[in-house]
Structure 1
Amino acid sequence: MKFTDHLWNEALPIYNKIQDHPFNQEMMAGTLPVEKFKFYIYQDSLYLAEFAKALATAGTKAATSKELLDFLQFAQNAIIVERILHESYFKEYVIDFDGGKAPGCFAYTNYLLSTAAFESYEVSVAALLPCFWIYKKIGDYIYANQASPNPYQNWIDAYAGEEFAASVEKALSICNNLADQASKTVKDKMMEAYLMASKLEYVFWDSAYKLEKWSV
């Protein structure tokens, strides 16, 4: 088995909770309340800006110029998607929130940024992987089972598309290559980081569904 197969199997209960979450089930059915989607899109725009920084930071630790370029490309793509959100969804749904990060977004982005800054390259890659892989899996699942017509079709198409799939495969390949050369101690830390980031993926979806706000 590839190392990423072990990651997936260990985190499968978390993924199943994400897949079954009302946010994704209602998006699939086309019944997700628009206010929850707007909240999600706003938080996602904030998330992607920080995700891009974490990707670029992790890339500076790469052992090869090729992988550095891969991570800089990942970062660039995240920024492009963030811009697209502003130019399309923000106008279409009249999103003008200015409240900053909700607790779920704050927790997730700070985890990724701190991991990219202070952990090894291997651990950083593992922590960043769920955002690629889980989004692709969720996108494919919703695409295959969605109600039609669906008001969220553009979002569904973006994450079920071939271009995003290519990035996911590249990230998986990098993670597997690193694990092949890593000690058991490092692989254990990679697993821990992957699981934590997967939990925070769930927290992000849940935060959007609950329109989460700071209690103080």
Structure 2
Amino acid sequence: MQHNQQGWSETAWQKYLPIYEKTQQLPFIQELITGRLNADSFMFYIEQDALYLQVFTKLLRTMSDRMTESKFKWYFRDFFEENMAAEKGLHDSYLIRDLSSIVPTATCQQFIEFNEELATLPIELAVAGMLPCFIVYQQLGIYIHDQHIRDGNQYIDWIDMYAGIEHSESVRKLREICDHYGNQASDFIRTQMDEYYEEGCLWDQRFWQSCYEMK
């Protein structure tokens, strides 16, 4: 079924914008902007994020193997390489403990399991569930970089390295993939895509909050 309205990714972004807006206002994000975030909470986030990135990187590689469109296969290879570079940068710059000694929180573990599920789903649903990790991260990065206070902010290096990088090309590419599948999908499949996109947005939100609470 061909849909003539705006692309699926823009429709999903607008439909679930309130979830993103709530994420934007989480204490972790707001205190990161001002530099008042507890240092223990920040390191807790770094460690949990490193565990998550391991699984997300595997998902990117799996999706590259599953793609039948040559262009999209190369897109996912680019995503994989970019994520590997980000993971290495995280380890080199911030991680102190070995990952084998870090235990995932219940939220992180469930987020990991959500990504493991995506790897097994039809491609339309998998890419829809992955999109929040691209677009929410991008939009939060822009927001944090625009709003942050530099003077005395102990997280300025992280903000400049991560939050200040928009990853706009990767987001554009994944949105193209989502629109390719979503615009041809039946209404039933598009509804499922919406549901997985919403769940991905919620997991991003839960993850930030759990790191703030350190549990």
Please give the TM-score of this superposition, normalised by the length of structure 1. 0.90
Aligned counterparts of 2:124 and 2:184: Cα–Cα separation in 1 = 10
Counterpart of 2:163 in structure 1: which amino acid? Answer: Y
1:69 is aligned, of 67, 74, 79, to 74
Say whether residues 1:169 and 2:178 are aligned partners.
Answer: no
2:124 aligns with 122
- The residue type equivalent to 2:126 in the other structure is S
Contact conserved, 1:38 with 1:95, CA < 8 A, in 2? no
Pick from 194, 201, 207: which aligns with 1:204? 207
For the residue of structure 1 that corresponds to 2:66, the secondary structure is: coil
Q: Does the CA-based 8 Å contact 2:127-2:178 persist in structure 1? A: yes
Q: CA deviation at 1:160?
A: 2.8
What's 1:155 paired with? 158
How many Å apart are 1:138 and its aligned residue?
A: 0.6
Distance 1:209 1:24 in 2: 9
CA distance in 1, matches of 2:188, 2:72: 23
Matched, 1:190 2:193: yes
Name the SS of the counterpart of 2:91 in structure 1. helix
User: Quick check: 1:82 aligned with 2:87?
Assistant: yes
Whichever residue aligns with residue 153 of structure 1, its letter is I
Q: Which residue of 2 aligns with 1:29?
A: 34
Residue number in structure 1 paired with 2:3: none
The Cα shift of 1:95 comes to 4.6
Q: Kindly provide the CA deviation profile for residues 154-209 of structure 1, in whole angstroms up to 9, marking residues without a partner as x.
A: 322223325x2211111111111221221111111111100001110011001100
Cα deviation for residue 10 of structure 1 reads 2.0
Q: Give aligned pairs, total.
A: 207
Letter of the 1:144 partner, please give it. Answer: D
Contact 1:55 1:128 in 2 (8 A): no
String of CA shifts for 1:60-81, please: whole Å, max 9, x gaps: 2222122112112212221221
Q: Which runs of 5+ in 1 are unaligned?
A: none
1:52 and 2:57 aligned: yes
Indicate if the aligned counterparts of 1:127 and 1:193 stay in contact, CA closer than 8 A. Answer: yes
Aligned equivalents of 1:62, 1:136: Cα separation in 2: 24
Amino acid corresponding to residue 146 of structure 1 in structure 2: H
Large movers: runs of 4+ above 6 Å:
none
8 Å CA contact 2:32, 2:155 repeated in 1: yes
TM-score if structure 2 supplies the norm length?
0.91
- The CA distance in 2 between the partners of 1:48 and 1:189, in whole Å, is 25
